[in-house]
């Protein structure tokens, strides 16, 4: 039995090698075909014959698509089970990563809104705003998901100058393509309700959750605080591309982008035509006003500096700024209760970013007592867990007034996590977090389509065994340039295709 499985694994490995060899031979032959087309008739016929052979091979690949996936993955996993336990642990992790690559294979190209520069809608460094758009298809052709990228904020000139040198401050430094997974996935098994929508990710390069608007630019720093203009410029660019005809629209975002989806929720609805079904989703964007472990109001001071530096006050909801200080209106607990558009709040009660940066920021923990705990909740001492349980209670109290409508959605799990819509393993996989017997994707989809309302708050940590409590946030937009500028999805089935195409190319 062991030998048979080992053989299966070796065959599986050989197919991988053949797959990459296929690229070399096929590209070489393709160039030959291009040189032949237009030559003598007999040579054209030979070229066409070769192409047809490859096409037959490609069709044959489709027949064995699922079979090969199943045998390849199952065989590999069974082989892993037989090896040394320590080695097996790492190989199982490799299998998981391979499975994850299957679901994160779509890479989408960037679109620069160059016309926005004339309107002053620019990133921190003055470069044009940008977004990534994967077009909808089928029944989703007139449905739009607009997703704000996250990535923190800059609260003073020094931090904004540092940010300007990264993709979070300049579109010149953004990758040409980014991975679309989770709620952005284009495959129904991994994103059942939004897979065929127009899915747009607005890149984040202003540092103010798209709220800033300062006309003056200091020539010494050349910093532009124009986040609110970026937001409007991107929407204006998308409207003639089909957004104006939207039948369904969902404004979402993660972290700082999740905050933006709350702050701009009602204005988004106002920008679309009457009759459009519009809702908003905030993922890990419900930042609360609490004191840190030293008793200092660190986050309140921080948010006040952001609002002041970026001139955000005039772009925050008037329903809040008319009665409270503008900096308070950067906190969702003071804005969300007045949002009229249906809003879904998705958040971990033990949000790992808030635990690390609001409850126990480095400035409040100079000796690093919280360092190990912040990396992994399982390392927390009883006293630290007590502080985190108190944080949860304050979070739920701040959330209380935001659940005053039946149109609201609420998914507050007890995971130690931050951002759960952008990573496939948290959004919709076999081992994704579950609350009220529903995974996040199912709860959000049911809420958007009015199939079932969803307002659930999880029991305290560590009651939910479905949580993946590493506390690791998703990477900032995995950016790369896949082969030939196409989707870089390496399915196991393509390994068989590689063999068949290679055979076709090498035919005399």
The confidence score (pLDDT) of residue 498 equals 47
How far is Cα 197 from Cα 345, in angstroms, rounded to an integer? 21
Q: What are the E-state strand segments in 262-367? A: 277-283, 343-348
Find, among 347, 354, 393, the residue nearest to 374 by Cα. Answer: 354
- Condensed to tens digits (0 to 9), the pLDDT of residues 107-150 reads 999 999 999 999 999 999 999 999 999 999 999 999 999 999 99
pLDDT by residue (tens digit) across 349-393?
999 999 999 999 999 999 999 999 999 999 999 999 999 999 999
Place of tokens 């307002």: 455
Phi, psi of 197 (to 5 degrees): -80, 165
Mapping DSSP to helix (H, G, I), strand (E, B) and coil, where does residue 479 land? strand
For residue 12, the model assigns a pLDDT of 52
Burial class, 94, CB count within 10 angstroms (exposed 0-12 / middle 13-18 / buried 19+): exposed
At residue 358, the pLDDT reads 98
Rg of the chain (C-alpha set) = 25
Catalytic residues: 255, 351, 418
Band of residue 501 on the pLDDT scale cut at 50, 70, 90? very low
Q: Where are the beta strands (DSSP E) in 58-156?
A: 106-112, 130-134, 143-148
Tens digit of each residue's pLDDT (9 = 90 or more) over 320-337: 999 999 999 999 999 999
Mean per-residue pLDDT over the chain, rounded? 83
Alpha helices in 37-173 (DSSP H): 41-63, 65-82, 85-103, 157-163
Q: Which bin fits 97, alpha (ψ -120 to 50), beta or left (φ > 0)?
A: alpha
Establish whether the linkage from the previous residue to 462 is cis, with ω within 30° of 0.
yes
Q: What is the pLDDT of residues 169-185, one digit of tens each?
A: 999 999 999 999 999 99
Q: What is the mean pLDDT of residues 142-171?
A: 98
DSSP state at residue 358: I
């Amino acid at each position: 039995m062991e030998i048979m499985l080992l053989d299966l694994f070796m065959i599986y490995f050989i197919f991988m090698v053949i797959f990459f060899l296929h690229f070399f031979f096929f590209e070489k032959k393709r160039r030959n075909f291009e040189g032949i087309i237009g030559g003598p008739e007999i040579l054209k016929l030979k070229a066409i014959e070769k192409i047809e052979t490859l096409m037959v091979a490609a069709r044959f690949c489709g027949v064995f698509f699922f079979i090969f996936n199943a045998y390849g993955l199952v065989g590999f996993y069974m082989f892993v089970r037989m090896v040394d336990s320590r080695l097996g642990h790492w190989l199982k992790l490799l299998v998981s990563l391979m499975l994850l690559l299957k679901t994160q294979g779509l890479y989408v190209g960037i679109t620069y809104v160059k016309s926005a520069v004339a309107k002053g809608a620019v990133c921190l460094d003055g470069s044009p705003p940008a977004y990534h758009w994967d077009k909808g298809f089928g029944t989703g052709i007139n449905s739009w998901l607009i997703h704000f990228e996250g990535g923190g904020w800059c609260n003073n000139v020094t931090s904004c100058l540092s940010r300007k040198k990264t993709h979070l401050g300049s579109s010149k430094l953004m990758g040409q393509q980014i991975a679309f997974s989770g709620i952005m996935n284009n495959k129904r098994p991994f994103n059942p309700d939004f897979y065929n929508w127009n899915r747009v990710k607005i890149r984040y390069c202003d540092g103010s959750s798209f709220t800033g608007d300062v006309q003056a630019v200091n020539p010494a720093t050349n910093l532009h605080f124009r986040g609110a203009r970026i937001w409007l410029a991107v929407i204006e660019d998308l409207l003639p591309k089909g957004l104006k005809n939207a039948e369904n629209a969902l404004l979402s975002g993660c972290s700082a982008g999740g905050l933006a989806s709350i702050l701009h929720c009602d204005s988004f609805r106002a920008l679309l035509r009457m009759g459009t079904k519009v809702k908003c989703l905030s993922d890990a964007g419900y930042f609360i006003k609490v004191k840190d472990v030293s008793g200092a109001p660190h986050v309140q001071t921080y948010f006040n500096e952001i609002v002041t530096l970026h001139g955000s006050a005039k772009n925050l909801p008037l329903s809040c700024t008319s009665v409270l200080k503008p900096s308070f209106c950067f906190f969702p607990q003071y804005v969300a209760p007045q949002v009229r558009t249906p809003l879904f709040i998705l958040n971990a009660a033990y949000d790992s970013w808030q635990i690390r940066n609001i409850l126990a920021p480095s400035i409040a923990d100079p000796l690093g007592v919280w360092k190990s705990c912040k990396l992994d909740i399982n390392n927390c001492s009883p006293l630290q867990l007590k502080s985190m349980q108190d944080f949860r209670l304050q979070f739920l109290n701040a959330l209380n007034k935001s659940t005053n409508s039946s149109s609201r959605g609420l998914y507050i799990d007890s995971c130690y996590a931050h951002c759960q819509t952008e990573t496939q393993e948290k959004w919709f996989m076999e081992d994704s977090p579950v609350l009220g017997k529903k995974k996040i994707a199912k709860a959000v989809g049911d809420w958007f389509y009015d199939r079932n309302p969803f307002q659930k708050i999880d029991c305290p940590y560590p009651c939910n065994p479905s949580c993946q409590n590493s506390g690791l946030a998703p990477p900032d937009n995995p950016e790369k340039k896949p082969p030939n500028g196409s989707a870089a999805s390496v399915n196991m089935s393509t390994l068989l295709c590689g063999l068949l195409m290679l055979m076709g190319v090498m035919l005399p």
